């Protein structure tokens, strides 16, 4: 556990030493801020529902950009050898990196809390869905971070890692909007695989164990995939 914290510290600090953190956070805030507030007054509703419904799509692009370097860079410069020959296990490494990615997602979401405060001035805001929304956003962020880690473990090229990660996250997000393409008998299953479906449930303020289990399953499968991919390289 101690090692996880040291690796987390290093990876999280790295985001802020390089320009990545600042670029990603700015892009995220500009895009969500614009898309949310440009239609906010048309709806004339005091809620962040539209903001949360944007998140799955935006996360699909932004989170792979955060996670793309986590393994690719290590493989590329060879520092993975240094890391793994210090007294750490692979679990320490992957959890350290996962937590750093999640912490980055959280620091990206933190400024958006001002949206909620701004909106609260305009009318009576129901805080239940807001808390559910942020909880769901962090869960989904964690799941996408795991997918990004998996993509990053596949290649030494960060751009390829980004594209693979984005492709997987994007497919999961859009899956339940493409249901008309599938035969009726498997609709239920396909619908269940879609990330958006589960996220929207939570962001309405409904905390259902099925949705939590879904995101945790995505994390477990992705992290296991990453472990296999890294082992395969040795």
Partner 1 sequence: MIHVENLTKYYNEFCAVDQINLHIRKGEILGLLGPNGAGKTTTLRMLTGFFLPTSGNIHVKNYSIREHSLEIKKLIGYLPESAPLYHNMLVYDYLDYVANIRGLTPDQKIARLKKLAALCGLNNIMHKPISELSKGLKQRVGIAHAMMSDPEILVLDEPTSGLDPNQIVEIREIIRQIGKEKTIVLSTHILSEAEAACDRVVIINQGKIVADGSTESLRQTGNREYDIRLSLLNANIDHVQKQLMAIDGISGISPSVSDDSTVLNLTLACKSDDDIRSTIYQKIKETDWILIDFHQEGKSLENIFRELTKEN
Please state the closest distance from residue 12 (CB atom) to partner 1, in A.
12
- Closest by alpha carbon to 67, among 205, 169, 137, 136? 169
Q: Is 178 in the site for partner 1 (CB under 8 A)?
A: no
Residues 26-85 that bind partner 1 (CB under 8 A): 77-79, 81-82, 84-85
Q: Which residues contact 230 (CB under 8 A, 6 or more apart)?
A: 71, 80, 90, 153
State the Cα–Cα distance between residues 73 and 75, nearest whole angstrom: 5
Site map for partner 1, 86-115, x if CB under 8 A? xxxx--------------------------
CB of 64 to partner 1, least distance (A): 20
- Nearest CB to partner 1, comparing residues 88 and 193: 88
Is residue 229 near partner 1 by the rule CB under 8 A?
no
61 by Cβ neighbours in 10 Å (0-12 / 13-18 / 19+) ranks as middle
Q: Which residues of this protein are in contact with partner 1, per CB under 8 A?
A: 2-3, 6-7, 9-10, 13-14, 17-18, 77-79, 81-82, 84-89, 234
């Amino acid at each position: 556990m101690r090692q996880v914290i040291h690796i987390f510290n290093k990876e999280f600090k790295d985001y802020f030493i390089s320009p990545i953190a600042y670029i990603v956070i700015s892009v995220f805030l500009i895009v969500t801020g614009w898309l949310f507030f440009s239609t906010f007054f048309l709806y004339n509703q005091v809620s962040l529902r539209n903001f949360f419904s944007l998140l799955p799509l935006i996360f699909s692009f932004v989170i792979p950009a955060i996670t793309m370097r986590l393994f690719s860079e290590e493989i590329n410069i060879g520092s993975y050898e240094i890391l793994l020959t210090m007294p750490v296990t692979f679990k320490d490494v992957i959890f350290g990196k996962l937590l750093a990615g999640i912490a980055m997602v959280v620091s990206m979401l933190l400024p958006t809390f001002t949206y909620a405060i701004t909106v609260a001035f305009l009318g009576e805001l129901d805080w239940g869905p807001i808390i559910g929304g942020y909880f769901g956003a962090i869960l989904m962020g964690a799941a996408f971070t795991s997918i990004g880690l998996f993509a990053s473990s596949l290649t030494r090229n960060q751009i390829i890692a980004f594209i693979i990660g984005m492709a997987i996250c994007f497919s999961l997000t859009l899956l339940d909007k493409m249901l008309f393409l599938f035969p009726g008998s498997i609709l239920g299953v396909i619908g269940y695989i879609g990330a958006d479906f589960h996220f929207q449930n939570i962001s309405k303020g409904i905390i259902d164990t099925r949705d939590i289990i879904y995101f945790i399953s995505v994390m477990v499968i992705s992290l296991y995939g990453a472990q296999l991919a890294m082992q395969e390289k040795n």
